[in-house]
Each structure stands twice: as C-alpha cells, then as structure tokens.
Structure 1
Amino acid sequence: MTDAIALDIDGREVKISHPEKVFFAKRGETKLDLVRYYQAVAEPLLRTLRGRPLLMERYPEGASGKSWFQKRVPKTTPSWVTTTVVATPNGTTSDALVAADLAHIIWAVNLGCLGFHVWPVRAENQEITDELRIDLDPSPGVVFSQVQEAATLTRELLGELGIESKLKTTGSRGLHIYAGLEPEWDGYQVRAAAVALARELERRHPTLITAQWWKEERGARVFVDFNQNAPHKTVFGAWCVRPRVGAQVSTPIHWDDLATVEPDELTIATVPAHLAERGDPWAGARPQSIEPLLEWSRRDLANGLMDAPWPPVYPKQPNEPPRVAPSRAKKA
C-alpha cells in the first residue's frame, strides 16, 4: 500500500496517507476514490458548504470500522486550516473546521472523515441562521413512497406561503427539504417556523405526517423533525458521502426527479455523472422569508399551544411542555 501522495488542491498541497485504503466495502472504493469524488462535485458542494462550520464524523478504518464525532480540530491541524469557535447547547465551546475551500474538505477526508454535519450559520456571523431545514424522518413501518408523498405535500404547503424549497436525499431512508433564508432570523426563530410548519402539515395530513416529538405518539407516519433547526444543531451536508459500505451520497435532486429517485443508487460511483447530466438542482436559489411561518407560530401560541419539546441536551425553554414521554407522565 502506498504510504502517501501529495495532491494540488486549488494551489494548496494536501497529503493523502494510505490512499489505497478501502473505505467502502461494497465496491471496494478507497480513500483516494473519495477524494476524487469530492473533486468532481466541488463546485456545488462549496456552493452549499463554503464558510460554514463543520462537525466531522470520523471513520479512520473506513465505513465498516469504529467511529466518533469530532467537534474540535486536532491539535496537529496545519496552520492554514480555517477554524471558528462554535458553542454547544450547554455553552461548551470548541474550534470547529470551516469549509473554507476544497482543500479543507480533502484535508478532513484524509483524517477519515466520512460524514460532514453542517451548521446552518456562516462562521463570520453565527447569530444569523440562513437555512430552514425540514427533515422528513420515516417512523418504523413507513415506506419510502410515503416519504416522497410527504415531501410533495411539504413543498406545496411552502409554496402556498411563497417559500421556494430545495430537495435532497439524506443518503439513508429520509428526505431533506431546504430553504435558504434572508439574513434576518436567529436559530430560535427558525426553529419556531419549523414547528409551525410541522404542526400545519399534521393538521392537513394527519394519517401520513406527524409533528409529535415522542416516538410513542408518532405511529407509522412520517415525522417532521423540527428540532433539526434548534440552535447549534447540525444536519448532514448536501453532496456529502454517508459512512455506509455502499458510499451513498446525500444528493440534491430536482423536484421532478422525486417520483423516480432511488436513494441507495446515488453513490460516489454514480453522482458525478448524474450531476454532469442534470446539473446542480440548487443553483440559482434565492433567499426566502419565513415570516408567514412565524405568523403561524404566533397564531398557534395565541390559541393556547405550548412550544414543542426540545431535545434533552438543551436547557429548559420558556413555554416548553414537560420534557417527559406521555406514558411516563401518566404513570407518575
């Protein structure tokens, strides 16, 4: 096995150790194959990631090996690597990698990073959240055709409010719907907009879609995970490769491809050609306003609805209901 090679990544020398190491067992793709994939999709990748902090999911021995999440860059990080201080929900800070350019992505790949989880903020202005991220999460018993239907209904509802949305696969069983935002709102406001959207979708389509945070209340429905918009929350990045043996990619797709998409077939072996043929579905998107969703949020609160539950790692929030599953609350 070759010890290391040096690559010129946009004028920056980045060393790749053990480039022939197999990262994805299904077809035998290597660390160098992963590097070549990111080079092939560099333009749309950086259009979505550039300037954002990244949480790294590291698999030094490949997708079949041990892993861990890494918020802080290693102490041996080269001086040219851009970082920024980010905070966790409890206030702990860390120096996170910033997607400054492709060299930063390739440097992380060399560390065995098989997953980039992306903040919805720019490193230079972390008070502003500039993406609404709707995570359509299939509960047990839900098939992908139901997720596809939920995505279509979500797009239609956002369209009623004049909000244009973008679509991507998650690289697994769900779908993500994004809207780039005008630089007007913080993470608390964006989460409130997501809660309002989830609740309205459940009202209109109660047998298919749920906004219920507690799993015991979801049934076999598609869950709209509003808490993916909680401040400091990261979501798996567009064009990024999942740590699965098949090297599946979280792939932006055109809305008219939704009915026929097969997420497991979107891999590092197929996505570059798909991009070359279909282009970047997210190119040219304009910033949106979430004021219509915030108006729904204010309406719900005025009608007596409390805030939706927050994840357990967050401090208790104003107007939040008891943070306990309904079945446990009844027993108590």
Structure 2
Amino acid sequence: MSEELIVEGVRLSSPDKVLYPEQGITKLELAEYYVAVAGWMLPHVAKRPVTMVRCPTGAEKKCFYQRHAASGVLPQLKEVTVPGFDEPYLYIDDVAGLIAMVQMGTLEIHPWGVTVERPDMPDRIIFDLDPDEGLGFGDVISAALEVRERLRGIGLQSFVKTTGGKGLHVVVPVEPVTEWRAAKAFAKSFSDEMAADAPERYLTRISKAERAGRIFIDYLRNDPTSTAVGPYSTRSRPGAPVAMPIEWEELEGPLDPAAFTIKTVPARAAARRDPWAEMAAVRQRLPIPG
C-alpha cells in the first residue's frame, strides 16, 4: 500500500484507503474524480463558503460537518468573514482545494449560495424537492417542471440537478443585490403558493409525519448556513452517487439518478455540453419590491 502521493500539489496520505467499500473506490480514485470534474465543478464551488461532510472512515460510517478552521485543516482551504457571524468560514480557490478536502476525508461538499466577495447577498436560490418514501422519481420530475414553469411565469430562468438521492434541486441564479431575509421570504412565498394550489401533492412544512404521499418543497436552503450539496459533489451514500447537473430536456425521457456516480460522471461530462454553461451569463433579479 502506498503511504502517500502528491496530487495537484497536495499530499495525499493512504491513497489506497477504500472509501466506498461496495465499489472498492479508494481515496486516490476520489481525488482523481475531482481532478477530472474540476473544470465543470469549480465555477459553482470555488470562492464560496463551504460546509464539508467529513467521513474519515469512509462512506456510510461516522461523518461530521465542518464549516470553520480547526486543527488538521490544510492551507489550501482559505477563510472568509461573513457579516453577522463571529467565526470565519472556509472556502477554496481551485482544484488543489478540492484535493485538500479529499485528504481531510470529505465525501460531500456543500457550498453556500453566496460568493466570498458578497457573503451577505445570495446569488443562488434553491428549491430542494424532497419526496416522501412512497413516491417515484417521476413525481419529483413533474414537480421540478412545475417549479420551472412557475419561475418562467415571473421572468426567472432556472437550472436543475440531481442530488445523489431521490430528489432534485431547481437552482435560480440571481444578481447579488438582495439580502438573505428577503431572498428567503421570496422562496417561502413561491413554495407556499405551490403547496396551496396543490396541497395533495406538495407541502412546505418539514414534518415527516405530514409528508405521506407528498413532496416537501424545501425553501429553507435559502438561509446563510443552510447549504445544499454542490454540483458534481459526491455523497456519503451507497453506490458512490454524485449530485449531477442535467439538461431540462433530460427530464422528458428515462432518467435514473443512481446512474450518476464517481465511475460514470467524468466520461459523461466530457462527452456532453455543460448543462450549466449559461448560468454565469444569466442576469436576473428576484421580483422583490423596493
């Protein structure tokens, strides 16, 4: 077993350590995955405060969240002060930052919906569609398409990604000119309206007991520290799944979110147009008075 390797300038210890036992995926293979997808991932993860889900002993085992610097944090992770919070938060600049997180046993990367330049003003609004256990993925697709059409109706363009689980995220890029409180209020109002129009299909309360047969529209992601899993991030779940940006048109045909894994995503991404290529060029504001 190799004791260490250098990947993108970062020392990777125990590169042969298995992190996903079912697939036999090692720490080195995880690092190589992030090198392969960095070009598509970094525009949505770099220079944003991040929450890491660290799983030093591998997927599905004891994991913990980390947002702040502590002993063992590598120099490739930087710090940014966020107005209203005492402790600075972590962020990365480049692919070396991704590999540093792998070295730290990170299996999930959750960026904030802000950049380090404007950490008090969100530039992403996220609607997390979380289905009840009894619902199929087709129900989630229908919900995502409805969110898209409702957003279109108020002049907002949106993008979609799988989550590495049963849900979908609808992501709305916006200019960072609205404070968190107003952005969250918009997301809540939008979600509440959907739930009021179809209470048999949707709800906006987090209660599991009330969710039977319905989809929870989680607007609570739109808070300073309530992050959502980043595009191309791995998940600490069986099957080594990845949260994958997709084209809206892909929801019209057979789609299995479990097919997006560490093993399959790099080749797929290299062979297709980037589904989120236009996001950086979108200029739109939330329809908030004043």
TM-score by length of 2: 0.93
Tell me the residue number matched to 2:120: 127
Alignment of 1:247-266 (within 5 A): 247-259=240-252, 260-266=254-260
Q: 2:148 aligns with which of 155, 175, 179?
A: 155
Structure 2: any 5+ residue segments left out of the alignment?
A: none
Counterpart of 2:213 in 1: which secondary structure?
Answer: coil
- Could you tell me which amino acid in structure 2 is paired with residue 34 of structure 1? L
Q: Does structure 1 residue 48 correspond to structure 2 residue 27?
A: no
Counterpart of 1:63 in 2: which secondary structure?
Answer: coil
Tell me the residue number matched to 2:160: 167
Tell me the residue number matched to 2:236: 243
> What is the CA distance between 1:51 and its match in structure 2?
0.6
- Structure 1 pair 214/76, CA: closer, same or farther in 2 (3 Å)? closer
Q: Does structure 1 residue 274 correspond to structure 2 residue 245?
A: no
Q: 2:100 aligns with which of 107, 127, 143?
A: 107
Counterpart of 2:129 in 1: which secondary structure?
Answer: strand
Aligned pair count reads 287
Q: Does structure 1 residue 203 correspond to structure 2 residue 196?
A: yes
Identity of aligned residues (%): 35
Counterpart of 2:126 in 1: which secondary structure?
Answer: strand
Alignment of 1:284-323 (within 5 A): 284-285=278-279, 286-291=282-287, 294=288
- Conserved? CA contact 2:156–2:284, under 8 Å: yes
| Distance across 2 between alignment mates of 1:287 and 1:63 | 38
| Distance across 2 between alignment mates of 1:64 and 1:76 | 22
Deviations 1:217-248 (A, max 9, x none): 33311111111112321111111000113110
Deviations 1:251-293 (A, max 9, x none): 00000111322111100111111111222101122132211xx
- Could you tell me which amino acid in structure 1 is paired with residue 261 of structure 2? T
Tell me the residue number matched to 1:325: none
- Structure 1 pair 255/270, CA: closer, same or farther in 2 (3 Å)? same
Tell me the residue number matched to 1:34: 30
- Larger of the two Rg values belongs to structure: 1
> What is the CA distance between 1:216 and its match in structure 2?
3.5
> What is the CA distance between 1:145 and its match in structure 2?
1.2
- Structure 1 pair 227/78, CA: closer, same or farther in 2 (3 Å)? closer
- Could you tell me which amino acid in structure 2 is paired with residue 220 of structure 1? G
Q: Does structure 1 residue 182 correspond to structure 2 residue 175?
A: yes
- Conserved? CA contact 1:179–1:288, under 8 Å: no
- Structure 1 pair 17/218, CA: closer, same or farther in 2 (3 Å)? same
- Conserved? CA contact 1:4–1:17, under 8 Å: yes
TM-score by length of 1: 0.82
- Conserved? CA contact 2:112–2:224, under 8 Å: no
| Distance across 2 between alignment mates of 1:22 and 1:86 | 36
- Could you tell me which amino acid in structure 2 is paired with residue 266 of structure 1? F
- Conserved? CA contact 1:71–1:94, under 8 Å: no
